[in-house]
Amino acid sequence: MILRFLCILRSTLIVLIVPLLLVTTNVRLVADSPYLYSYGFQKYGIESVTGIEMGQLELAGEKIRDYFSNDQDYLVIDIERQGQKIKNLYNQREILHMKDVKNLIQLIYSIQIWSLLLFITLILIGFLSIRLRKFSNVIDPISWGGGLTLGIAAVVGILSLFGFQRLFLFFHLVSFDNDLWILDPTRDYLIMMFPQGFFFDATVFIVVLTLGQALLLWVLPRIIRRLRGL
């Protein structure tokens, strides 16, 4: 009875960890992607909006990505704008908001690492504690987790396509306990550089990556089972 309970608990944890692991991994990939920043700067004409040359915008993007993973408390974007050196592009409100963003990003990074470690541990426990004829007990939870992730990613994708503005607002209300994220697009460079469309594109990338990976995890164990005659 106890062994059966532990087996069910392990399977349940795997099912729940799979979507958590995939989503946090893809958030990390997108947040650390130079391509996304360059793509967004070009797509939304950020060079003309801010008066900052593309090379300097990309340098600012690099400093932001570094900031997410370093031990620096406050973000400093020292670049050039129209030939003049700027010690810090962002004002105090923007800097404090980026500190909140960094805390959130680092929390996501931590969740990703711990999810991965727990996932690997649970899989190894499954392989070490079952007989070969019950190999399906190891791979089936992965497939179920992939299926759960497909459902979650599909819902988020649909909500993003038909109501991203509300979803974006809800995200900020839930994620931050202050209103520092409410910025002025006419004078605050942070929102000039990263308009709402930029985050819509980032969300699309995350959803597409997650859907593809989840589909693979959902299908691959089934193929393995068929090949092994399980």
Indicate the average pLDDT of the chain.
90
CA distances from 6 to 11, 125, 147, 182, 230 (A): 9, 11, 22, 47, 22
pLDDT > 90 in the chain, percent? 76
The whole-angstrom separation of Cα 35 and Cα 62 is: 11
pLDDT recorded at residue 120 = 93
* Contacts of 179 by beta carbon, 8 Å cutoff, 6+ apart: none
pLDDT tens digits along 135-150: 666 778 888 999 999 9
Kindly report the pTM of this predicted structure.
0.90
pLDDT recorded at residue 82 = 83
72 band by pLDDT with thresholds 50, 70 and 90:
very high
What is the widest separation between alpha-carbon atoms in the chain? 73
Angle between the 34-43 and 54-69 helix axes, to the nearest 10 degrees? 140
pLDDT recorded at residue 10 = 87
Among residues 30, 50, 192, 180, the alpha carbon closest in space to that of 112 is found at 30
